Chains A and B, each alone.
Chain A
Amino acid sequence: MSAPTLPSALVDATRDDASLRRFLHGLPGVDQVGVEARATALATRSIKKSSKLWAIDTAISMVDLTTLEGADTHGKVRALTAKARRPDPDRPDTPQVAAVCVYPDLVATAVEGLKGTGIGIASVATAFPSGRSSRQVKLADVALAVESGATEVDMVIDRGAFLEGRYGEVFEEIQAIREASGRAHLKVILETGELVTYDNVRRASWLALLAGGDFIKTSTGKVSPAATLPVTHVMLQAVRDWFTATGELRGVKPAGGIRTTKDAIKYLVAVHEVAGEQWLTPELFRFGASSLLNDLLLQRRTQHDGHYSGPDYVAVD
């Protein structure tokens, strides 16, 4: 765990509820107009040819291939794992995705489907997506996921407690889940669409980093707006500032609503220019997405073949 290496100022920040509040409210504000203007300007970077191909492969390797429906079945998860192993059967050089993300009760199926691949198994636990349940239920949810073999836990924070200013409670809960996750990587979902302001996004990001989250993640995908470029900018700044303060590298995962290669590349440019080159790896940046992968595969084929092949040439799973 990261706590012992923290500089004393950061340790002091989490001493009690009042210090936590003082610390979070003492973070520099985020100017809405400014951050949105910067996000728009960066989105105009032109990526073509070899750099585009590199970006597509990098993006594929960062995808958390996700299915989070009430109608999820073992069959659906098996299909997804098959796709994760071989995203494009005609092109064996296509990189594998980073992880497959499912509900806790389906983790075992995913484990079986991904045996021997090294692909991560992520599971949304903690009464996903609303997080509205008791601590015991959330911990039991995490236990189910971890015991079934999940290597990554995607938890949701208690947005109600956060908006009520009960930061200590949110902090403690993240810590408890961190503990319960054991060796699994912890991604903390802030659900930025419900936090609304960029100031809140920055505070929630720091709260999650202080409590030991390995990743901060924008959204569940169930609330609109999900991931946006400016929100991701703020979170990338948070991990960069965290790195400056502690020397530790933590990751960012935008999730929900990223469907096209064009969009994914805009995020990669932001990772590159806001956080820095060292974040351009699946260890530190992920896309939470389901339909993005197919567009990446189609664009990859287009780059290699010189023409567009059409949606029937990639698997629908």
Chain B
Amino acid sequence: MSTQLTTYQSVREWREQQMRSVARDHHTLNQFHEQVIYQVVQMAQVRMESEWGKPPAHFAFFVMGSTARFEQSVWSDQDHGLIYEDGAEPSYFLTLGEEISRGLEQAGYARCDGKVMASNRLWCKSQHEWHEQLERWLDERSWETIRHFLTFFDSRVVCGEEDYLDQLKDGLFSYIDKHPAVLKRLIENTSHIKKAVGVFGQFLVETSGKYSGCLRLKETAFFPYVNALRLLAIYEQVTETSTLTRFTILAKKHQKVAPYERDFKNLLALRLRFQANQTDYDSVHYLDMKKLSRADKKQLKAIIKHGRKLFMNAKEIVEKGC
């Protein structure tokens, strides 16, 4: 990593210089994103300390979504939160959250549309407040709170007290042990899989606008795999966040899951092969079908089909346990 980085802009330039060389391999790319994000968070902390002084309490800064799952493509948006020690005032951490958001934005990570960011009070709370909020989300079981919970579950600490997040996840697992019916609600929330292949065997692509002729890769291909493995991880109380690592752990317990790991790896590779030159966050979710060969299309159809099967298998496993 460069030691010359002093501004967010310089991080962005470094990111742009390196991207082409790291974007050939999924693992390398995600390790690089990790370095960039870590660098920005460190820089934001230094800036905070120069203006506001040392943090008033211990804290953990964590990422969620594709960053947490090690599934970022060339571009990705921000999803993060903060947990701080009980008793501390939120103002310092909200400002830190905003500083990190600003830094990440300047470094090339779009702000989250849904405001899942540490600068938002909903995602920046003390340990106790977090614990209460998570229980409330699960008690309420509305569409929105279940989404919040699922987003939260794919989380890992980037800097600070790792224990804080682990404790919260332990709390979640004991809640689920006491209320296994909540698993049904989690299944319901993720059961709808967007159709990607029509009755004539054709891809259901966008029909108008900038992305006409493109497939929405995120919703149609990724979500079934990500959602299936997350469901199983919750059910089996696995705290690992990467979908690939979840595969490794869960395939040992559930034979039915194992064959699909290869499909998911292929999907990640396929996305990288076609999206490496995209210039913004929006476009990485769309795959231009014109670029795909017949063999690519055949492979993608199989991946999509297998994603559905995997999700159904995961659903079956979890349903048996509720």
Decide if A and B are genuine partners. Answer: no
Residues of B within 8 A of A (CB): none
Residues of A within 8 A of B (CB): none
